[in-house]
Homo-oligomer: A and B are copies of this chain.
C-alpha cells in the first residue's frame, strides 16, 4: 500500500461526513451516499469520484446495512447497493465497518474486513462523548443540581472513569461501585469513594450504570427511592431490569449511541483517527 491511499466513505450519518473531512487532510478521499445538502463546504470537492479509479479501502457506517441489505444511508435519497460499492474497490481492499455483521464477508469477498469499533483506542475515546451526553441528560432530567448530589457510578472502566472526572468538577458526591480490590484502588487514585457492587447502598439521587450485566434487578431497584434517576450506558442488554423498573415506577433512561448524537464532529474525527492509525500500522507491517 503506497501513498497516496484512496479512501471511499460510503453512507452513514453526519459522523461519516466529519470523518471524511478529517481524512481528506491526509488521503485521497471520495464521499458517496449523501445528498448535496449534507455535504459540507470543506468536503464539496470530494463528492464526485474523479473517474474510473478504484479505492484502496472503504469506510462503511457503524451499522453497515439497512433492512433490505443495502448500505445504510439515511442522508441519501437514492439507493446505495453493496454491489456498487464493491465494484469501486481494488482487489484486496480494506473494508472498515463498526460491528461484526457476518454479511460483510459475503458481500465483500476477497477483502480485509476491519471492525474499527473493536479498537481499544476508539472505545477509550468514545467514552468521552458518551460521558458528556450522559451528564447532559442528567442535568436535564434531574430537578436538583449535580453539585452536592449523591451519585453512584457502577463500573470503574473507561466510561466510569470519564464520568468520574466530569462529575468531580461539578462538586458532586461521587461513589464508584466496583467489583474488587483493584477497583477500590483505582477509585482512590481517581480521588473518589468506592463500594463493592455487591454491598452497594441505595441512597443516591442519580445512578449511572456502565456494566453490561444485570446489576439492578427488581429486588435491588425496589430499595431505591422513587426519585432516583437511573441512566444506563451499558450496551445491550444493559444492566437494569427495565420491565421491573417500569412496574416499580423507577425512572430509567437507556442512553445509547451517545457519541454520534452528542458530538458528531468529534465522533467522526475519532473514527478518522482510528482508521488512519490502522492504515499506518498496516503500512509499517508491509515495509
Question: Which residues from B are CB-within-8-Å of A132?
Answer: 139, 145-147, 170
Copies, count: 4
Residues of B within 8 Å of A190, CB to CB, are 165, 171
Q: How far is the CA of A190 from the CA of B190 in the complex (A)?
A: 9
CB distance from A106 to the nearest CB of B (A): 31
Nearest CB of B to A252, in Å: 20
Q: In the assembly, what is the distance between CA of A152 and CA of B271, in Å?
A: 28
Q: A107–B152 Cα gap in the complex (Å)?
A: 48
Q: Are B263 and A144 in contact (CB under 8 A)?
A: yes
Q: Chain B nearest CB: distance from A159 CB in Å?
A: 9
Inter-chain contacts of A143 with B (CB < 8 A): 18, 263-266
* Min CB–CB distance A15 → chain B (angstroms): 10
Say yes or no: B133 contacts A188, CB within 8 Å: no
Q: In the complex, which residues of chain B have a beta carbon less than 8 angstroms from the beta carbon of A185?
A: 120-122, 124-125
Give residues of chain A (249-287) contacting chain B, Cβ–Cβ below 8 Å.
Answer: 262-266, 273-274, 277
Nearest chain B CB to A179's CB is how many angstroms away? Answer: 12
Interface size bracket, A side: 35 or more
CB distance from A135 to the nearest CB of B (A): 7
Q: Can you name the residue of chain B whose Cβ is closest to the Cβ of A173?
A: B193
How many Å lie between the Cα of A18 and that of B169 in the bound state? Answer: 26
Q: Is A140 in the interface zone, CB < 8 Å from B?
A: yes
Inter-chain contact A161/B189, CB cutoff 8 Å:
yes
Residues A128 and B169 in contact, CB atoms below 8 Å apart: no
Q: Given the interface contacts A161-B189, A191-B171, does A182 sit within 8 Å of B121 by beta carbon?
A: yes
| Minimum Cβ distance to chain B for residue A62 (Å) | 17
In the complex, residue of chain B having the shortest beta-carbon distance to the beta carbon of A166: B169
The answer on a CB contact under 8 Å between A170 and B166 is yes
Q: Is A114 an interface residue (CB 8 A)?
A: no
- In the bound complex, how far is the Cα of B138 from the Cα of A133, in angstroms? 11
Partner of A189, one of B120, B162, B263: B162
For residue A151, which residues in chain B have a CB less than 8 angstroms away from its CB? Answer: none
Chain B residue numbers with a CB within 8 Å of A277 are: 181
- Please give the distance in Å from A87's CB to the nearest CB on chain B: 33
Kindly provide the distance from the CB of A281 to the nearest chain B CB, expressed in whole angstroms: 10
Query: Is A188 within 8 A of B128, CB to CB?
Result: yes
Top 4 A-B residue pairs of the complex, sorted by shortest distance between their CB atoms: A169-B169, A171-B191, A124-B185, A121-B181
Between-chain CB contacts (< 8 Å), 12 pairs: A18-B143, A124-B186, A128-B147, A132-B139, A133-B139, A136-B136, A143-B263, A145-B263, A165-B171, A168-B169, A169-B169, A171-B192
Q: A128-B189, A147-B191 are in contact. List 18 more A-B contacts (CB 8 A).
A: A121-B182, A124-B185, A124-B189, A128-B171, A128-B188, A132-B170, A135-B139, A136-B136, A145-B263, A158-B189, A161-B189, A165-B171, A165-B191, A166-B169, A168-B169, A171-B190, A181-B274, A181-B277
